[in-house]
Amino acid sequence: MKRLLAFFILLSLIVSGCNHAEPAVELSTEIAATETPLPPPTATSTPEPTPVPEKNTHYQFEMELDYSRHSAQVTQTINYVNKSNFSLPELMLVVPPRAFLNTYEQTELNGDRLAGFTEDGIRTTIHLNQPLEPGQLTSINISYSLSIPQREGSFGWSQRQLNLNDWHPFIPPLSSEGSWISHDPLFDSANLVVGEYIVNEIADFDLTLRLVEFLPNLLVASGAKAEPLADGMQYSLKKARELSFSISNQFHHEQLDHNGLLIQAYVFQHQRDRAPAMLQIASQAMDLFSEIYGPLNLDQISLVSADFLHNMEMDGLVLISNRVIDFYDNTAENNLTILLPHELAHQWFYSRVGNDQAMEPWLDETLATYSELLFYERYHPELSEWWWDNRIYAHPHSGTVNNSIYDAGSYDNYRASVYLNGAIFMHDLRLTMSDQPFMAALKTYVAENAYQIASKADFLQVFQAANPNVDIPAVFTRYFKD
């Protein structure tokens, strides 16, 4: 009983799967009834994936990092490819660190077509001396320093960790109408970002990292492969949306070579006995989701204990709240077994299939939440109903599933609608379509939208085609606004 009570308290703190910590709330002990979950998904053939463009925008960095002083000096080159059908007289740079006061100081910005630039908040508009035509490439060079803020989250530092996510200038994607897809962050009263607001297109990344000082036991966790240099490390990540790191001199590291995928766990020293369970859960999740959604061409995945009360996905790297790991009790009735598969599902719904995370967050968060149920149905079918009771029905679970991060009104409403009511929507859609067409549609959706930025229309088209005999829009009408 004490273990169950502790679980409910922790679940109220860290139930979102991504992004946000919230205060404990008193939960009713009544459990809502739910349908008996359907059996594990039937394997289906893998559709041909969307061809990857021959040329991606390439980000190249030289970074000198002072871990103790939480600062970095960076030189960056962007070789930008205009993959649109538009002639571009201007380019946009989004600079996420400028959302934090006194964090980003730029010392140089030039390029082979740069005629000038103007700055407005986190955005810089680069004026070109001649338009960039479709298929053409231009280079932009930037030099800047980072004073990384002391704050909770995936960009910031604590006494035992430094996290670098959304840390550099980038060029956002273009919409089908030719406008830049760029949004402002939404902060809550605790200075935490509500939801994700950044939209990235697929790119290639190379970074040379040099440490200003030698610290014993300093480990760098990343989704990118690392190659040693004489004076640092070289990191390369291809066909990704970002390049992120978590760095600490207090990590315990374990790894598992699983069917050619290197799964690495970076936990704090007192959590070292949890690392094998994390590797096991991750290996199961990656197997299952590769079967359901299609394989990923990943060399490695890093599972990192985060020194804050929320979770976050990046390309090849997931941050799991240290409290989730602390409370793991060697059973599947636990947040670690819920949330680690959730974050790993984002390797498909965020990384492989992109979306506008600010305006249509359901396209990654709803699908990642429902992936938790698929995990339980496969590996712990006797706990599928427990998952519904504890993950969904024990919390507010209503509201418009396709809320943006701005119009939900609060983080609680955002979670209740996009995550929890979103899972109910997915199950309703599954029951309406029947199991096999639903599972086939999931795989087709990933294949047809791989390396792109998908929308509700893309999702609806695939799912309606998977079962033309049912009224798929009617299911959407029950949960979505126009």
Q: How far is CA 441 from CA 289, 367, 431, 436, in A?
A: 14, 13, 13, 9
DSSP state of 320: E
- CA–CA distance, 22 with 25 (Å, rounded to integer): 9
Average pLDDT over the chain reads 90
Q: How confident is the model at residue 453 (pLDDT cuts 50, 70, 90)?
A: very high
What domains does the chain contain, in order, with CATH numbers?
A: 2-50+331-479 (1.10.390.10), 57-326 (2.60.40.1730)
Q: How far is CA 249 from CA 69, 215, 219, 274, 279, in A?
A: 14, 7, 6, 18, 21
- CA–CA distance, 343 with 366 (Å, rounded to integer): 12
Give the mean model confidence (pLDDT) for residues 79-94.
97
Phi, psi (rounded to 5 degrees) for 331: -125, 165
Is 116 a residue whose pLDDT tops 60? yes
Is 50 a residue whose pLDDT tops 60? no
Angle at 61 between CA 136 and CA 349, to 5 degrees: 75
- CA–CA distance, 472 with 160 (Å, rounded to integer): 49
Write down the pLDDT at residue 39: 39
Q: How far is CA 332 from CA 7, 31, 339, in A?
A: 12, 19, 11
Give the mean model confidence (pLDDT) for residues 452-472.
97
Encode 297-310 in three state secondary structure.
CCCEEEEEEECCCC
- Tell me if residue 215 falls in helix, strand or coil: coil
> Which residue in the block uniquely carries the two structure tokens 């079918």?
381
Tokens representing 322 are 């240290």
Percent of the chain's residues with pLDDT above 90: 83
Write down the pLDDT at residue 35: 36
Q: How confident is the model at residue 245 (pLDDT cuts 50, 70, 90)?
A: very high
Q: How confident is the model at residue 411 (pLDDT cuts 50, 70, 90)?
A: confident
Write down the pLDDT at residue 409: 72
- CA–CA distance, 72 with 94 (Å, rounded to integer): 19
Is 33 a residue whose pLDDT tops 60? no
Give the mean model confidence (pLDDT) for residues 320-334.
97
Length of the chain equals 482
Closest listed residue to residue 67, CA positions, set 209, 205, 169: 209
- CA–CA distance, 45 with 139 (Å, rounded to integer): 41
Percent of the chain's residues with pLDDT above 70: 88
Write down the pLDDT at residue 407: 86
| pLDDT one-digit tens code per residue, 272-309 | 999 999 999 999 999 999 999 999 989 999 999 999 99
Q: How far is CA 198 from CA 140, 150, 401, 423, 439, in A?
A: 20, 21, 20, 23, 29
- Tell me if residue 89 falls in helix, strand or coil: strand
Closest listed residue to residue 16, CA positions, set 454, 449, 323: 323
Is residue 254 within 8 Å of 228, Cβ to Cβ? Answer: no
Write down the pLDDT at residue 410: 79
Is residue 71 within 8 Å of 145, Cβ to Cβ? Answer: yes
- CA–CA distance, 272 with 353 (Å, rounded to integer): 33
Q: How far is CA 201 from CA 60, 82, 443, 450, in A?
A: 16, 12, 21, 11
3-class SS shares of the chain: helix, strand, coil, % to 5: 30, 30, 40
